[in-house]
């Protein structure tokens, strides 16, 4: 599972081997005894070592080593130091180590510190119980628990590698990072910490915690000063209300904003919303959500789900800062079991609960098709309760696969119950075409016109019409009416492009031209010839289904 561990382990081992090879090939220098209060020589003292007591100081190259007492093996160019051990380099403020014990190998120039080891440089403090340090390469390492502290961050691990010249520290095995006094904690297996940059690079499965948030990734980096971070490979963010998964994620902890990339799935349990896409941008202040590239919103409502896609989805606060607004623009398509949609763009504000549809939207509501140039939909209790069509609208309700009840007008208002259209008010140049039935058999074609009218529907069928001014209605025998004359002007049945599954919302259909994927049938403005006109004798108006009030 830890795909980067072998690589990092190999690199660390390579550095160590390189350092060892360099130490063998390097120019040998002697360890010099600079001072001691007392010197005792006895072959019985540790294999003939000289015992140095009080204010002991050694020097090798630029390294100075001090202690309370020591055993000096001059013939082997090494010594053991005891008590208040202090090693530092002249003109190097980043090399200062203290410990209880030191064994120094002068030929290899490796210092072995043991017990209460503290390494200080200009950026951090390292504490451990065992540290080996190469004075030639300025590389130190520990293998039995270590702790590094800087101004805001505490890092602990089982193993660690300190690179003085590169200003980096590698931590291995059981790595724990505590940042800003417990503001968040990080758990991982391998990291690299830049002593100057304050950047943590992590390699392998890594978890972040604080009081409310949890994050996970298998690779990435975190800047402890700027609070910027990048999470890659199976990135996950979770709090009590939201969960985000993606391939990679940029996060700004100070501004509480982030950007997620590729295969993004964001779930908000409080809003019953799921957002998917390949680019998601989130900001807390001011509140903003932007989704592009295969953008989709899934809204769970009343045991069903609405799936909506657009080139760009946007959720933010309005100018007052009190209400959320939702925008979907370019190639909008939506699917719900009892409602489907295609439009150019949508704008919805919670301040008035009105959704505005632009660019010749098409609605399919329980089999009815609604088309217009511009539409407003009124939402109540998470359901469509009313819609208004502007600049010519048409409602088509199929009686069967070849007969369609039709309503057309310059402006319409439709009313729904449980997404079922039951009433339509038509204003200015109202036209109707529907098929009266008797014993479930179509008996004719009823064509009507009026300045204004009201239509009542039940089970998608027209049950009653109320013509309000300048009414005109005729019923024609069904056998004498051609297919073209069973369509009002501008009739187009778009069922072939209607989203029929959630995945269909990602397939855009251009409705501006006739295509093989939709049937476009436009009724002629007048009969083809006079003979055809003579054959169409109107029947008497159906008094049971047509009522003219004329006022």
What CATH number should be reported for the domain holding residue 372? 2.60.450.10
Cα end-to-end distance, the chain, whole Å: 79
Supply the mean pLDDT for the chain. 84
What pLDDT score was predicted for residue 507? Answer: 93
Rounded to two decimals, the pTM is: 0.74
Residue 371 lies in a domain: yes
Among 197, 202, 137, 151, which residue's Cα sits nearest to residue 172? 202
> End of a domain among 101, 135, 169?
135
pLDDT digits (tens, 9 = 90+) for 233-277: 999 999 888 899 999 999 998 888 899 999 999 998 888 889 999
Query: Does residue 5 register a pLDDT over 70?
Result: no
Give the pLDDT confidence score for residue 421 in this predicted structure.
83
Is residue 468 in a domain?
yes
Residue 157, Cβ density class (10 Å: 0-12 exposed, 13-18 middle, ≥19 buried): buried
Listed residue (103, 105, 101) closest to 116, CA to CA: 101
> Which carries the bigger pLDDT value, residue 137 or residue 49?
137
User: 306 and 335 in contact (C-beta within 8 Å)?
Assistant: yes
Domain membership flag for residue 130: yes
Which residues, at least 6 apart from 166, have a Cβ–Cβ distance to it below 8 Å?
A: none
pLDDT band at 455 (very low <50, low <70, confident <90, very high): confident
Q: What is the pLDDT of residues 120-134, one digit of tens each?
A: 988 889 999 999 999
Residue 345 resides in a domain: no
Q: Would 269 be classed as within a structural domain?
A: no
CA atoms within 13 A on the CB side of 412: 28
When pLDDT is cut at 50, 70 and 90, the band that residue 355 belongs to is very high
Lowest mean pLDDT segment, chosen from 135-139, 380-384, 421-425: 380-384
Residue-level pLDDT at 14 = 43
State the residue range of the domain holding 447: 360-551
**Is the preceding omega at residue 134 within 30 degrees of 0, hence cis?**
no
User: Is 264:278 a contact under the CB 8 Å cutoff?
Assistant: yes
Which tokens go with 396? Answer: 């088509």
| CA–CA distance, 111 with 119 (Å, rounded to integer) | 13
Is 101 a member of any domain? yes
Residue 328 within a domain: no
Flag whether pLDDT at 534 surpasses 70: no
The tens digit of pLDDT for each residue in 198-219 reads 899 999 999 988 888 899 999 9
Give the domain-ending residue among 73, 102, 135.
135
- Report whether pLDDT(438) > 50: yes
pLDDT beyond 60 at 477: yes
SS3 13: helix
Instruction: Write down the pLDDT at residue 26.
Output: 56
Domain stops at, among 135, 165, 183 = 135
The count of structural domains within the chain is 2
Predicted confidence (pLDDT) per residue in 28-76, tens digit: 899 999 999 999 887 677 777 899 999 999 999 999 999 999 999 988 9
* Residue 199 located in a structural domain: no
Stretch 423-428: mean pLDDT, rounded? 90
Residue-level pLDDT at 189: 92
At 142, is the pLDDT very low, low, confident or very high (cuts 50, 70, 90)?
Answer: very high
Label residue 540 by pLDDT band (50, 70, 90): very low
Residue 135: per-residue pLDDT: 93
Annotate 389-456 with three-state secondary structure.
EEEEEEEEEECCCCCEEEEEEEEEEEEEECCEEEEEEEEEEEEEEECCEECCEECEEEEEEEEEEEEE
């Amino acid at each position: 599972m830890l795909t980067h561990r072998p690589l990092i382990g190999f690199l660390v081992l390579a550095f160590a081997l390189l350092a060892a090879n360099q130490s063998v090939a390097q120019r040998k220098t002697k360890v010099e005894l600079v001072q001691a209060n007392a010197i005792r020589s006895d072959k019985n003292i540790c294999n003939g070592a000289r015992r140095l007591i009080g204010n002991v100081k050694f020097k090798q190259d630029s390294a100075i080593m001090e202690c309370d007492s020591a055993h000096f093996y001059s013939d082997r160019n090494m010594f053991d130091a005891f008590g208040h051990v202090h090693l530092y380099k002249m003109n190097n403020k980043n090399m200062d180590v203290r410990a209880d014990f030191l064994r120094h190998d002068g030929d290899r120039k490796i210092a072995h510190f043991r017990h209460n080891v503290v390494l200080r440089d200009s950026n951090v403090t390292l504490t451990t119980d065992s540290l080996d340090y190469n004075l030639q390469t300025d590389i130190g390492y520990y293998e039995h628990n270590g702790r590094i502290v800087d101004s805001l961050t505490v890092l602990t691990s089982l193993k660690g590698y300190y690179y003085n010249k590169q200003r980096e520290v590698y931590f291995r095995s059981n790595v724990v990072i505590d940042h800003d006094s417990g503001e968040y904690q990080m758990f991982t297996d391998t990291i690299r910490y830049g002593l100057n940059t304050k950047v943590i690079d992590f390699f392998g499965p890594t978890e972040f915690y604080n009081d409310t948030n949890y994050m996970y990734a298998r690779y990435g980096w975190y800047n402890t000063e700027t609070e910027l971070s990048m999470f890659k490979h199976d990135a996950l963010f979770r709090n009590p209300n939201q969960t985000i998964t993606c391939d990679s994620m940029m996060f700004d902890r100070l501004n509480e904003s982030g950007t997620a990339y590729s295969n993004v799935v964001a779930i908000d349990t409080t809003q019953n919303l799921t957002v998917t896409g390949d680019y998601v941008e989130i900001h807390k202040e001011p509140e903003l959500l932007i989704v592009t590239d295969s953008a989709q919103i899934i809204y769970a409502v009343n045991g069903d789900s609405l799936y909506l896609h657009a080139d760009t989805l946007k959720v933010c606060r309005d100018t007052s800062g009190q209400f959320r607004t939702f925008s979907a623009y370019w190639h909008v398509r939506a699917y719900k079991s009892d409602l489907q949609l295609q439009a150019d763009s949508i704008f919805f504000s919670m301040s008035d609960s009105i959704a505005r549809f632009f660019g010749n939207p098409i609605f399919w509501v329980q089999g009815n098709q609604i088309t217009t140039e511009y539409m407003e939909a009124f939402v109540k209790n998470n359901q469509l309760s009313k819609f208004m069509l502007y600049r010519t609208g048409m409602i088509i309700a199929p009686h069967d696969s070849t007969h369609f009840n039709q309503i057309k007008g310059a402006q319409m208002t439709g009313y729904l119950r449980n997404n079922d259209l039951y009433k339509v008010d038509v204003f200015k140049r109202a036209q109707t075409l529907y098929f009266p039935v008797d014993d479930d058999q179509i008996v004719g074609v009823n064509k009507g016109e009026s300045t204004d009218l009201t239509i009542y529907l039940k089970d998608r069928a027209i049950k009653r019409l109320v013509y309000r001014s300048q009414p005109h209605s005729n019923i024609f025998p069904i056998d004498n009416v051609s297919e073209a004359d069973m369509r009002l002007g501008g009739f187009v049945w778009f069922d072939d492009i209607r989203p029929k599954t959630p995945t269909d919302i990602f397939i855009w259909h251009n409705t501006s031209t006739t295509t093989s994927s939709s049937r476009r049938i436009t009724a002629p403005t007048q009969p083809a010839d006079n003979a055809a006109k003579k054959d169409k004798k109107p029947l008497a108006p159906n008094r049971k289904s047509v009522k003219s009030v004329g006022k």
